[in-house]
Each structure stands twice: as structure tokens, then as C-alpha cells.
């Protein structure tokens, strides 16, 4: 074991093999995230039963559950009913594998690595559920606020005050915008899920980073809006 952690072999272990292991583990986590994306909006258990085809409901055997590889070998189709499986499954697995590899290279085998990885996994699930169902599940955002506040304070060097202000400012700003928009237009512009999501972001990133995110998002939104107007003439 000592030879793996020192000298040329040790360098190879830390630079290549361990990051590769975490990339593979990340792909496996991505497979689980796909289960969460499919089941949480339906109020189903994310633990049991095992993975099934979203079309025919046939249980997926272990060989067809290998992240990334199984999807490519089956050409994105169910082995039983031959109907096409959404490429989202492949995308999430590759994305999570790449993130695990990148975060390990950045943070190493530290608590910060696991904290950031769990946070990003939660964002991946929320993002794809929102894209598929146009909802942001409260079960993730509301539980994420205390969990990610604690992780940020314990492992990311964020003060408890910054985390608290991040939650308050995140929720407060978006809630004010939502109330003002509804009063101005007479219709709801955003739901409580958006408010909770921004509060969760503030809990982990702190209020300063949150304000930067809001500024960049506003600028990007303005650029896209102007581009659409110019394209439409």
C-alpha cells in the first residue's frame, strides 16, 4: 500500500486511478439520480422496487443497469419492449461522472469534495425534474436548506451568519419579485419552488455569492430577451 502512495506509482494512483474510480462512482450515482428524477414527482419510493423500463415496466436486469455502457450497447432502447429510452438517462450519468472526476481533482479526498458533490447532485435532480415536469420539488429544496447550511458551515468555511443571510436574502428577494409580479399582472409568475430553490442556493453558497448569481442571471436574461426581440424583428 505504501508503494501506491509514494513515488511514481503513487503519483499515477492519485493522478489517474483514483480520479477514474470516482468518475465511475459518479456515473453510478448518476444512475440513482435518474431514479430520483423519474420517481420523486410521482411520489414513489426511490429505493424500491428496482429500476424498470419507463414504458413497459419490465424490471431492468443488472447487466442492463451498468451506467453509460448499457445505454450505449442497447442503443438507448429497452431490451424487452425495444422502445427508446430518453437520452436524459445517458446525459445525467455522463454529467455526474464528469463532475465527480472534476471535483475530486479540485478538492481531493476531503469533506469539501463530498459536500459540493452532494449539493450539485441535488441541483441536477431539481433541474431535470423542472425540465420534465415544470415543478421544483419541495422535498429536495426544503430539506436541502438545513442540510446544505450545515455542510457549508462545517466543510466549506462559510459562517453560520452568511448561510442564514443567504437563505433569507434568497427567499426574500424572489418572494418579493413573485408578489410584485402577481400584483402587477394579476397572475402568478413563479411558484414557491423557485423561492425555496434560491433559499437552498443561498444556504450553501452564502449571500455574497447568491447576489452575484442573481446579477449574472439577470444580465443573461436581458441579453437573451434582447436577442429574441432582434431575431423576431
Q: Which of 24-33, 60-69, 164-173 has the highest mean pLDDT?
A: 24-33
Q: Is the pLDDT confidence value at 7 over 80?
A: no
The more confidently predicted of residues 9 and 123 is: 123
Whole-number average pLDDT of the chain: 85
**What pTM was estimated for this model as a whole?**
0.84
Alpha-carbon distance of 163 to 209, in angstroms, equals 11
Alpha-carbon distance of 10 to 8, in angstroms, equals 5
- Quote the pLDDT of residue 47: 86
Q: What are the sequence ranges of the domains in the chain?
A: 1-134, 136-233
Residue appearing with cell numbers 442564514: 164
pLDDT digits (tens, 9 = 90+) for 132-188: 888 899 999 999 999 999 999 999 999 999 999 999 988 888 778 777 777 777 776
Phi, psi of 217 (to 5 degrees): -60, -40
Least confident of 46-50, 93-97, 216-220: 216-220
Q: Mean pLDDT, to the nearest integer, of 100-104?
A: 94
Asked if 167 and 149 count as a contact pair (C-beta separation under 8 A), the reply is yes
Q: Mean pLDDT, to the nearest integer, of 30-47?
A: 92
DSSP secondary-structure letter at 12? H
Alpha-carbon distance of 209 to 55, in angstroms, equals 42
Question: Residue 19 corresponds to which cell in the numbers above?
Answer: 480520479
- Quote the pLDDT of residue 209: 87
Please name the residues in contact with 82: beta carbons below 8 A apart, sequence gap of 6 or more: none
Q: Is the pLDDT confidence value at 222 over 70?
A: no
- Quote the pLDDT of residue 228: 60
Paired strand residues for 34: none
Cis peptide before 49, with omega less than 30 degrees from 0?
yes
- Quote the pLDDT of residue 210: 83
Indicate the pLDDT class of residue 230, thresholds 50, 70 and 90: low
HSE-CB for 164 with a 13 A CA cutoff: 3
Q: Is the pLDDT confidence value at 219 over 90?
A: no
- Quote the pLDDT of residue 13: 67
Q: Is the pLDDT confidence value at 83 over 80?
A: yes
Paired strand residues for 59: 52
- Quote the pLDDT of residue 189: 61
The more confidently predicted of residues 106 and 64 is: 106
Amino acid at each position: 500500500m505504501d508503494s501506491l502512495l509514494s513515488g511514481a506509482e503513487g503519483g499515477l494512483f492519485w493522478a489517474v486511478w483514483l480520479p477514474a474510480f470516482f468518475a465511475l462512482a459518479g456515473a453510478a450515482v448518476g444512475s440513482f439520480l435518474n431514479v430520483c428524477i423519474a420517481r420523486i414527482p410521482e411520489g414513489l419510493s426511490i429505493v424500491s422496487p428496482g429500476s424498470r423500463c419507463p414504458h413497459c415496466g419490465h424490471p431492468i436486469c443488472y447487466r442492463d443497469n451498468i451506467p453509460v455502457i448499457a445505454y450505449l450497447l442497447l442503443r438507448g432502447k429497452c431490451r424487452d419492449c425495444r422502445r427508446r429510452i430518453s437520452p436524459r438517462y445517458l446525459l445525467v450519468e455522463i454529467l455526474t461522472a464528469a463532475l465527480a472526476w472534476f471535483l475530486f481533482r479540485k478538492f481531493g479526498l476531503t469533506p469539501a469534495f463530498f459536500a459540493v458533490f452532494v449539493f450539485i447532485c441535488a441541483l441536477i435532480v431539481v433541474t431535470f425534474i423542472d425540465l420534465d415536469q415544470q415543478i421544483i420539488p419541495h422535498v429536495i429544496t426544503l430539506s436541502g436548506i438545513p442540510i446544505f447550511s450545515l455542510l457549508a458551515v462545517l466543510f466549506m468555511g462559510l459562517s453560520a451568519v452568511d448561510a442564514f443571510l443567504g437563505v433569507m436574502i434568497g427567499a426574500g428577494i424572489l418572494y418579493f419579485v413573485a408578489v410584485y409580479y402577481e400584483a402587477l399582472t394579476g397572475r402568478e409568475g413563479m411558484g414557491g419552488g423557485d423561492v425555496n430553490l434560491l433559499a437552498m442556493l443561498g444556504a450553501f453558497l452564502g449571500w455574497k455569492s447568491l447576489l452575484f448569481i442573481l446579477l449574472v442571471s439577470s444580465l443573461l436574461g436581458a441579453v437573451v430577451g434582447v436577442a429574441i426581440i432582434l431575431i423576431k424583428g
